[in-house]
Structure 1
Amino acid sequence: MNCTEQALTFDCEGETLTAILSLPRQEASGIGVVVVVGGPQYRAGSHRQFVQLARALAAAGHTVLRFDCRGMGDSSGALRDFRDVTPDIAAAVSALQNSAPQVRQIVLWGLCDAATAALLYCGETRDPRVRGLCLFNPWVRSAASLAQTQVKHYYTQRLREPEFWKKLASGRVALSALSGLLGNIRLALAGGRGGGEAALAFQTRMARAWAQFDGPMLLFLSGSDYTAKEFIEYSTRDAEWQAALAKAPAIRHVEPDADHTLSQRNASAAGERCTLELLALLANPQPTQHPATPRPVGAAAGA
């Protein structure tokens, strides 16, 4: 293992959070990565995803902290929703810098609702220490966005299959299934109105945080993941997101066959590679990080 690891505990509003700090064996860069963990997960991640990521980044010279939010893993306190972990992230950023004083720039790395939490943190705090974002399959789900995704990517395909119509004619398609299809179509046609104003609030806050963030961003989308498909559908239909996407991420990558947690080794390797590219951009800023005419958010890198 080309890094050293140590356990940390630190305070967050009177509760004790537990973390693992991965330190390079070689001379460390001035960049630190805080892996924000969404629920229901703890600092190791599915199939040790975050362990492998932290070690790969530390082997490349970067300091990495992965931690348990309050109420998860070995951290104390009550479980929080992803919309309420801003204090946890702030405490983790401080803990990393206190443990590794050479770190001057922080990158937040998050998957699913942790990516959403990272964006919300930046929007709420404008923390000057955070200079980069790595957002993997961001979570934007509402009842309407889920319905739109299911209608487009599941039901449309099913309706093209002869077997579906045979089952329908023979009565083997249950009324509950047809009722579910019709309900999803109604929600999909209703668009954003289906989730209600309260359900849409965090997606709007995400879009505004995206537009306001002035550092490089990585957007990584898994081709075989409904959460990623929902993000594409939602962000290309919603007015706030359409405005936000005028600012394209510095790096956009679609991994065609990847699942939600990048469980295949080639997918996880792609995630590590893209993260390292983002860190290199932060270390050596380019004159223009955001192209004037961005590709659609769902377009594959290099297309």
Structure 2
Amino acid sequence: MNISEQALLFTSAGEQLPAIIARPQAMLCAGHQASAGGDNACPPGTADGHPAEAIADDRVGKERASCGVLIIVGGPQYRVGSHRQFLLLSRRLASAGYPAMRFDHRGMGDASGSMRSFEDLSADIAAAIEALQRNCPTVQRIVLWGLCDAASAALLYVQTSHDPRIAGLVLLNPWVRSEVSLAQTHIKHYYGQRLLQGEFWRKLLSGRMEVMKSLRTLFDNALLARRSRAPGNAPEKRSFQERMAEGWRQFPGELLLILSGQDYTAKEFLEFAGSDPAWAGLANASKVRRVDIADADHTFSARAQRAQVEDATLSWLGGLKGVVETNRQPPRDLSREHADE
């Protein structure tokens, strides 16, 4: 399927945010044509040089055109993504018939405003959804796609907004890090591996290792790892991890969870989700499809790993239900929050 790309600006809390929409060229998106000066404009009929994917069934094409994918950018990076990951993903999705938009949130990339935490992106996500639907009127359902803290931001958005347009979430190596979770991950995965490495023993036997310093670090991590299990340690304020779990649990749509086998963030997520009461049973819920890519690093930097992510996303999108329920309450207006910042 031929694709085109359009560059645009939209507003969130008074700031200008740039975005690129990749879409099937046949779609009539608010009467716009692809911008000739767009961000790395892709020639019609290709997706980064690969043959365009044909969609023989017009009904299937219309269903895909009704489902837009919003790629949320984590920090610190911008809408192209590490090793052009977001750019290539959006083109692959558009080639398969799904409109896809990637954008810079406030304070990141070419967007104006002050840089903000992933915990404070909900207003920008809401504004981006409005911009996508305004420019692509066929889009009724939205899938949020996020890597690392952008995956966390997606969960925080559904927890805050209860947005009925969100039909699905694609979460890659979600970020749940705290001092405690990092210590638990190091205890379980790092120290055991070090004992099996020849370099560790060579440094130890040659006297090049600061043994007391290493033991002190191990002891400190062990104390931190036990902290979450100790009674009376409930925080006064709800953590972002608890809010993520609430968003996951209450979300009525479907989730695709993609995890890297060679990534401490992914290991930390599994460790946290398997031990924290708020996360009990969430990763194994029937609405969750999990894909493990054993040799992948945090950003799926190899071409084969990137292709696996794209294939998994498209396969999952093909089975997504998520029909829009018109009788549900509209989402909270988050675009007006922080307007005075």
Identity %: 52
Q: Which amino acid aligns with 1:275?
A: T
- Cα distance change, pair 130–33 in 1 and its aligned pair in 2 (3 A): same
CA shift digits 1:238-288 (9 cap, x unpaired): 001014345244321000000111111111111111111221122588xxx
Identify the residue that residue 160 of structure 2 maps to in structure 1.
124
- Cα distance change, pair 26–83 in 1 and its aligned pair in 2 (3 A): same
Question: Structure 1 unaligned runs (5+)?
Answer: 286-303
Q: CA RMSD in A?
A: 2.2
Using the alignment, how far apart are the partners of 2:236 and 2:79 within structure 1?
30
Identify the residue that residue 185 of structure 1 maps to in structure 2.
222
| Deviation for aligned residue 1:217 | 0.7
Using the alignment, how far apart are the partners of 2:305 and 2:120 within structure 1?
30
CA shift digits 1:116-135 (9 cap, x unpaired): 00000000000111111000
**Higher RCO (CA < 8 A, seq sep 6+):** 2
- Cα distance change, pair 100–40 in 1 and its aligned pair in 2 (3 A): same
Identify the residue that residue 327 of structure 2 maps to in structure 1.
none
Identify the residue that residue 291 of structure 1 maps to in structure 2.
none
Structure 2 residue 87 is matched with structure 1 residue 86: no
Give the secondary structure class of the aligned counterpart of 1:197.
coil
Q: Which amino acid aligns with 2:226?
A: L
Using the alignment, how far apart are the partners of 1:25 and 1:110 within structure 2?
25
| Deviation for aligned residue 1:156 | 1.2
Q: Does the 8 Å contact 2:253/2:322 carry over to 1? A: no
Identify the residue that residue 101 of structure 2 maps to in structure 1.
65
Q: Does the 8 Å contact 2:167/2:322 carry over to 1? A: no
Counterpart selection for 1:36 from 48, 72, 95: 72
Using the alignment, how far apart are the partners of 2:105 and 2:198 within structure 1?
48
Q: Which amino acid aligns with 2:12?
A: C
Question: Structure 2 unaligned runs (5+)?
Answer: 28-61, 324-341
Please give the TM-score of this superposition, normalised by the length of structure 2.
Answer: 0.78
| Deviation for aligned residue 1:184 | 1.3
Identify the residue that residue 280 of structure 1 maps to in structure 2.
318
Structure 2 residue 261 is matched with structure 1 residue 223: yes
Using the alignment, how far apart are the partners of 1:198 and 1:270 within structure 2?
41
Using the alignment, how far apart are the partners of 1:49 and 1:59 within structure 2?
15
Identify the residue that residue 49 of structure 1 maps to in structure 2.
85
Identify the residue that residue 20 of structure 1 maps to in structure 2.
20
- Worse-superposed segment, 202-211 or 177-186: 177-186
Higher helix share: 1
Please give the TM-score of this superposition, normalised by the length of structure 1.
Answer: 0.88
Number of positions where the alignment pairs a residue of Structure 1 with one of Structure 2 = 285
| Deviation for aligned residue 1:150 | 1.2
Q: Does the 8 Å contact 1:144/1:192 carry over to 2? A: no
| Deviation for aligned residue 1:137 | 0.4
